Amino acid sequence: MVALVIALALFFDFTNGFHDTANAMATPIATGALSPRVAVGIAAVLNLVGAFISTKVAKTISGGLINHGQHGIEITPTLIFAGLIGAILWNLVTWVLGLPSSSSHALFGGLIGAAIVGMGFNSINLSILMSNVVIPAVLAPITAGLVAFLATRIAYAVTRKRQREGFRYGQIFTSSLVSLAHGTNDAQKTMGVITLTLIAGGIQSEGSSPEFWVILVCAIAIALGTYTGGWRIIKTLGKGITEIEPGQGFAAEAATTAAILASTHLGFALSTTQVASGSVIGTGIGRKGASVRWKTAGRIALGWLITIPAAATVGALAAWATELGLVGIIGDLVVATAIVVGIFVYSRRSAVTSHDLGLEPTQFVRPKKRKKPIQGGARS
């Protein structure tokens, strides 16, 4: 059972990686600052590095959402197993729909569903659910949107039109920062899940930090996922919401980085995915002449709204099946594998690859080349 949960946790880590590539790399790919392959390569390396440099490990995977211990539910490998199935399936559904949704919320949702089946609604701490998940989910895109809006206004007020291509170089740095911050946070979650499973299974002593091999495999899983590239979500975030120019991309990434760093260091946790999506919307409002496709934005918001209930439903079903014993667990696995394969087969029918994201040559406007002769002419 423990080995099974570890395998599932690593698969979740992988889906987390390719789901969240878009947060950092959608905008530089959209503006042509980085080619798609190079972008996901950088993101993968930074996620790998990020997983190693952070030592703080999520001690409670659910962040207090689930009452456990003496007065609550006991977190068993079986419960984590059911929760992970919910999280993975929901991550894949949102991926095939191209929706940027929070992987952490999917994980919370799956675990909540599994806990409700095990212990009833008393096992859920509703006030923490509101204050740590629901309200930040509303505030994150608004905050990031406002910051990105202001940053975009500044960028376009200060620079002249023909200088704005220069923002491409800046984008490389800001998007890399987002990737690094992501790696230090998200690989931690899976390490926390695996370590808790090992502790619950009696293999590791309570309160100890993760084994080195756990850190290693988690880092590799998230980096592989990132390199695979969730092109569908990158397409939504980079091209679906608004047309992004280099200046906007730079402003949006600066806003995303600032909001993530401020929230992790000043104690008001915001979801990376929601911050990144908010930034893109904000920068779309900020540039004159750009339009935001609110229909797409609405679809994304709807996705956020149902992430926790949907993952919880799947988690609950999986947990209910595990109560049948070994047959249930095998049944869970068979059904989950069938759905995963089904989603992949379905996704092939309208595959989105890195080739769909390259810029058309005509989309580049290089005013630099056109202006130079005129300048020279005026001088002589």
Partner 1 sequence: MIAWGSFLIVLIASIIGACGVVTLFSLGLRFAGPATTNTGVRHALGITCFVLCGLLVAFGVYLIIPAFHP
Nearest approach in angstroms of CB 242 to partner 1 is: 18
- 313 touching partner 1, by CB under 8 A: no
Q: Given candidates 148, 316, 318, 357, which one binds partner 1 under the rule CB under 8 A? A: 148
In this structure, what is the dihedral angle of CA atoms 253, 259, 261, 263, given to the nearest 10 degrees? -160
To partner 1, the closest distance from the beta carbon of 372 in angstroms equals 8
Taking the CA atoms of 256, 257, 259 and 263 in sequence, report the sign of the dihedral they define: positive
User: Which residues ranging from 182 to 201 are in contact with partner 1 (CB under 8 A)?
Assistant: 184
Query: Helix 103-119 crosses helix 167-200 at what angle (to 10 degrees)?
Result: 20
When computed from its CA atoms, the radius of gyration of the chain, rounded to whole angstroms, is 22
Q: Single out the residue of 3, 59, 173, 208 in contact with partner 1 (rule: CB under 8 A).
A: 173
Which C-beta is closer to partner 1: that of 202 or that of 376? 376
Is residue 59 part of the contact set for partner 1 (CB under 8 A)? no
Residue 288 half-sphere exposure toward CB, CA atoms < 13 A: 6
Binding string, residues 247-286; x marks residues near partner 1 by CB under 8 A: ---xx--xx-xxx-xxx-xxxx-x----------------
Total of chain residues touching partner 1, rule CB under 8 A: 56
Between 58 and 150, whose beta carbon lies closer to partner 1? 150
Q: What are phi and psi of 99, to 5 degrees?
A: -100, 125
Piece of 28-36, 75-83, 166-174, 322-330 that binds partner 1 (CB under 8 A): 166-174
Residue at 22: amino acid letter = A
Does the footprint of partner 1 cover residue 37 (CB under 8 A)?
Answer: no
| Closest listed residue to residue 298, CA positions, set 275, 281, 311 | 281
- Answer for which of 37, 55, 59, 363 binds partner 1 (CB under 8 A) is 55
Do the Cβ atoms of 142 and 278 come closer than 8 Å? yes
DSSP 352: -
| Encoded tokens for 345 | 């087969």
In the complex with partner 1, which residue's Cβ is closer, 147 or 318?
Answer: 147
Region near partner 1 per CB under 8 A, out of 11-19, 170-178, 320-328, 352-360: 170-178
Phi, psi dihedrals of residue 277, rounded to the nearest 5°? -65, -40
Do residues 179 and 47 lie in contact, with contact meaning Cβ atoms separated by under 8 Å?
Answer: yes
Name the segment binding partner 1 (CB under 8 A); options: 34-42, 65-73, 194-202, 369-377.
369-377
Cα–Cα dist 221/334, whole Å: 22
73 beta partners? 68
* Residues found near partner 1 in the complex (CB under 8 A): 50, 53-56, 127, 130-131, 135, 139, 143-144, 146-148, 150-152, 154-155, 158-160, 162-167, 170, 173-174, 177, 180-181, 184, 250-251, 254-255, 257-259, 261-263, 265-268, 270, 367-368, 371-372, 375
